[in-house]
Structure 1
Amino acid sequence: MKYPLVITNFGNHYNKETGKFVCQHPGIYVFQFTSGSTNGDTSFSTSIKKNGKRTASALESGSGYKSISNMVVLDLVANDEVWTEPINTNYNYYYCDSNNLCSFSGFLLYASS
């Protein structure tokens, strides 16, 4: 998933074109996402992936406007990639507008040697 608004990107490790964070400093990182949906009759889901492997997910199947979020702590080495993506693109309807209902953030908790 690509996020249209980048608020802070210290070091430019998040690539707005690919939607991926690429680790440059090994360590323990915290990542969090929030996703919103406007399709009231359909489930939607999002995962945080590390190098293509799902590490955390969230699912919402209620009616009306929906919002999901999750957080994960990951041990990263140089060039590891972290991003979010829908679990099933056949029924995901994301709502990202000027209210910023979808977000992806991460930070270095502590560096490793």
Structure 2
Amino acid sequence: MFTTFSDAASINVAFHAHHSTDPVNVASHGTIVYNVVTTNIGNAYNRNSGYFTAPVSGTYVFFANCMAVASSEEEVYISQDGKKGIAVCYSNRPLASPYEQGSTSVTTHVLKGQKVWTSIVQNSENIRGNLWSTFSGFLVKPDA
């Protein structure tokens, strides 16, 4: 619990993650684990599990970018504890098209300790790695 508004305002939470290999194999309906974390202010993103765990309750914004491997299509969900698929990222990459990237974002209220993650929903079990598929987010405003 914050004792003053200035305590709440001093909380900074932000992360950005991607995967070190390309392509990335993810089990169908499985959590995407981004193992390269370029920003992790507040240490809320776990690169071993793929989960962001809110250190404080508040309003957050999350982003997901995804790219399918050649001749496939992908749906990647951003999910939150108790809310499956609060946003969806879609990429359809025909063989003739070298690149087609999808992206999505969502603004949502997250309670302290709740988890937010991305997962593959359907079709292939591979996505493009490196910086082609990313997951990021930040705290807009903590609850007072």
**TM-score scaled by structure 2?**
0.70
- Deviation per CA, 1:5-53, whole angstroms, max 9, x where unpaired? 21110121100001000011110000001011222x2211100000152
- Are the counterparts in 2 of residues 38 and 66 from structure 1 also a CA contact under 8 Å? no
Alignment-derived partner of residue 141 in structure 2: 110
Q: Does 1:95 align with 2:125?
A: no
Output the CA distance in 2 between the equivalents of 1:3 and 1:62: 21
Larger radius of gyration: 2
- Are the counterparts in 1 of residues 56 and 112 from structure 2 also a CA contact under 8 Å? yes
**TM-score scaled by structure 1?**
0.88
| Structure 2 alignment gaps of length 5 or more | 1-31
Letter in 2 for 1:9: N
Letter in 2 for 1:84: T
Q: What CA RMSD, in Å, does the superposition of the two structures yield over aligned residues?
A: 1.4
Identical counterparts, % of pairs: 28
- Are the counterparts in 1 of residues 33 and 47 from structure 2 also a CA contact under 8 Å? yes
Letter in 2 for 1:47: Y
| Structure 1 alignment gaps of length 5 or more | none
Which stretches of structure 1, 4 residues or longer, exceed 3 Å deviation after superposition?
none
- Equivalences, count: 109
